[in-house]
Chain A
Amino acid sequence: AQSVTQLGSHVSVSEGALVLLRCNYSSSVPPYLFWYVQYPNQGLQLLLKYTSAATLVKGINGFEAEFKKSETSFHLTKPSAHMSDAAEYFCALRGNQGGKLIFGQGTELSVKP
């Protein structure tokens, strides 16, 4: 079975500090992995996706993620946090049956001034 685990339901950083949101996955086949961001009372916006072309994936708003097969991880990073980055972040895996997205539990990012 495929699954996604996000370590830490809440992460707090200071403005300008490094952002690191952790995601580990379980999959018996090569996974397709995604990071989405959700602002309050809104849908999900795609930040970036891994589709096996390159292990280091750059996304929007300065975010990037690195796929590490040996660690079954796909952590999301941003060198310098902005206040506008405060939101809920979801790591997701696209299943190989029916194409549905399997979500992690989500990580709420807070940015302190």
Chain B
Amino acid sequence: GAVVSQHPSRVICKSGTSVKIECRSLDFQATTMFWYRQFPKQSLMLMATSNEGSKATYEQGVEKDKFLINHASLTLSTLTVTSAHPEDSSFYICSAATPGPSSSPLHFGNGTRLTVT
């Protein structure tokens, strides 16, 4: 149980275009989803926390107008990288929290490798 599906797994786009990444909880309802960014050989950096039906909470230094997050339902959150530039190339990973206390683990998608040319 507790499967998180992330799509696409890999995307290449031209500079200036926008890219949407989807994160779905397949067998549970996720009231909260988290978006992370990971640079090569580094740890995961939390970008934002998204709660169903409300605005996302962005971490300090993350541009909310550039990284648009929508959590329209209990099973779907999307991250849109707007006007992408080569420096946005990275590995993006979403995770979802199963309902319950903070002792519950987060479940992760398989990540999206974004390359901006």
- Provide the bound-state CA to CA distance between A90 and B95, in Å: 15
How many A-B residue contacts, CB cutoff 8 Å? Answer: 59
- Provide the bound-state CA to CA distance between A110 and B93, in Å: 23
Give B83-117 as 1s and 0s: 1 = Cβ < 8 Å from A's Cβ atoms: 00000000101010100001111111111010000
Chain B at the A interface: SS class: strand
Would you call A45 and B103 a contact (CB within 8 A)?
A: no
Would you call B95 and A101 a contact (CB within 8 A)?
A: yes
Instruction: Count contacts on A: residues with CB < 8 A to the other chain.
Output: 25
Which A residues touch B91, using CB under 8 A?
41
Could you show 21 A-B contacts with beta carbons less than 8 Å apart?
A42-B110, A43-B95, A43-B110, A45-B108, A46-B105, A46-B107, A49-B105, A51-B103, A52-B103, A90-B44, A94-B102, A94-B103, A94-B104, A94-B106, A98-B57, A99-B97, A99-B102, A101-B34, A101-B46, A105-B42, A106-B42
